[in-house]
Chain A
């Protein structure tokens, strides 16, 4: 790469208010003509100080704030937080509570992947798949709204289980949704997967090989697209993932097209998991015990715990240091998008400006997770 003289470089910032930065990320991109020389991501525009807020709130007061860490997958964050506290107080949730948690988490994974699908294709210019993805997503959100009471900030999990039981008609709506969902997925594949324009935009662009993936501790679908078969639900199964059969899709041609295909496959896997949870839950409607009877207000846990969960964007860890008082001493959130943001610089070097959109879109980065 020959040295480019300074006056031929144009620095533009794809700034905080920009249609395609998935929130408020600012990228100072230095261009020579249209090829990208250097990207300097500047984050911090959505920093709400969630870790400092944990230090002066009791465990119950911090619970609603936990949904806002990654507002597209609220269930995963609240599960990571509560799983940590349950480990400290060694409470084990009942079998039914585990199933309800799994079914709601998998539905949340589908909504988060659908939103990513819509925004990714809108970045590349196709406007109609955005609406198809949101029509499907709206169906799930209606079900979750009737179950938990709100569309995104669920606050539905509590110590040892869930706050409210699932009744018959919500289960039937879930069943009817997952039957119809296969045709919707088929439609996305028809519309996009073979399309030569889409292939030329995403085929072998933004390659993450195995070393950089490990070096930058990338997790989730971006990692599985580079050939490393690593999914928390299989390696250390939590909840009920050990007695559910689903396979983890792995591709190894490392480009943003395989990241697209992997996420479509993951949605299919989540549909299978939902169906199996539905079959178990249908004939366990009657048993009542869905949460522990310990009063959440007066718990005083003690010790250190790392609780992990496989969120739609990767490995989400909530590390709690509790010192026996009512308030947690220190909570650290290890969020997956924080590490995929670092990757953009050496991923999108000397590609063209429009390719930056397809690389950054395929990484599925969400800014509340990065800034916390």
Chain B
């Protein structure tokens, strides 16, 4: 177990708390720590995207609030908090209010599956890939609810588009997961990361380059990012499925989209780019010979930084694509994902099986 858990256990025994309390408190603390971590990264991500797009279009981006505009997203969040909660007349009240919840909570839970460092694995289960597949189809339900319950024609069309697009993109996504589990032989994320640990050529991106591309593109479709951002296409449907939401409800949708981007790029990093392993095969913290307890702590930090670096690069690429491509129509997205992505994904599974067979023979 990790170093933090040892310190925690020792402290709890000293004040001789009951056993069930130790176990429950530990999960509560890790939940709160990681939830705060997620919210902070989402806030940074929103501001970063606006600055990054401004960088590409020769603008400056927000720099009024805070020194370099750093408090901009916090100001937006507070503004949304105090906005009046407008509720349109003919809405289906129950579904209308569950839609924002359905966006944010599954993303929080999926966030637990990722092994941050070798020491800290918030939720380690033998079939975490399966869990990822199951939980990640709930946000699509949220867009469906939002679209159909807010009683306005534009969000109805937006909701329709979101569902057809999401269903057609889930299948190649999960087929690529199967190809990963063939390679690594297990569904447990931690063992997948450990299988890729000694050097950059061990990463799953090299044997599985086709799976990486398919996973990346279908992740773009699931995230509703350009060039597939049809559900909230501003030019046709004003704001798509979340046009009737204002105030904190809209913030949930808005932050949910960014959290989904962060989660999916973190997953691509763990599955294909060797989660917290360093590309050179050894950790810098091994070189400087420090006392064991201190060196273990430094290794965890460095592993976490490697994971965040890879996720950051992927997010840069996703936002770069957003800056430079127009939008596809619904019909062409569906044709693209059914006729091109899904057969390629199935074909990729065969390749991975043959590759695994050859490797085991040689």
Contact = CB atoms under 8 A, between A and B. Distances in A.
B87 interface: no
Interface string A166-199: 0000000000000000000000000110010110
Contacts of A12: 153-154, 157
A126 interface: yes
B236 A195 contact: no
Contact of A125 (B59, B154, B156, B235): B235
B326 A198 contact: yes
Q: Which of B53, B57, B226 has the most CB of A within 10 A?
A: B57
Nearest to B234: A19
A150 interface: no
A352 B328 contact: no
Interface in B326-350: 326-332
A121 B156 CA distance: 25
A357 B157 contact: no
Given A34-B330, A354-B327, A355-B329, A197 B235 contact: no
B323 A125 contact: no
B229 interface: yes
B324 interface: yes
Nearest to A355: B329
A372 B309 CA distance: 57
Interface string A10-37: 1010100011100000000001001000
A126 B326 contact: yes
Nearest to A134: B57
B332 A200 contact: yes
A127 interface: yes
Interface string A312-355: 00000000000000000000000000000000000000001111
Interface in B199-257: 226-227, 229-230, 233-236, 238
A55 to B, nearest CB: 40
Nearest to B324: A128
A20 B236 contact: yes
Nearest to A17: B238
Contacts of B156: 10
Interface string A127-167: 11001100100000000000000000000000000000000
Contacts of B59: 131
Nearest to B239: A19
Interface residues of B, number: 29
Given A20-B235, A135-B58, A353-B157, A127 B323 contact: yes
B39 to A, nearest CB: 27
Interface in B34-69: 53, 56-59
Contact of A200 (B53, B157, B323, B328): B328
Contacts of A135: 58
A128 B323 CA distance: 6
Given A19-B238, A197-B325, A352-B331, A127 B53 contact: yes
Contacts of B53: 127-128
Contacts of A356: 236
A195 B326 contact: yes
Nearest to B322: A127
Contacts of B324: 126, 128, 191
A362 to B, nearest CB: 13
A338 B281 CA distance: 68
Contacts of B154: 12
Contact of A126 (B236, B325, B330, B332): B325
Interface of B: 53, 56-59, 153-154, 156-157, 226-227, 229-230, 233-236, 238, 322-332
The 6 tightest CB contacts between A and B, nearest first, are A125-B327, A131-B57, A124-B326, A20-B235, A126-B326, A354-B329
Given A34-B331, A126-B327, 7 more contacts: A121-B326, A123-B235, A124-B326, A126-B324, A131-B57, A191-B324, A356-B236
7 contacts: A12-B157, A19-B238, A34-B331, A123-B235, A195-B326, A197-B325, A200-B328
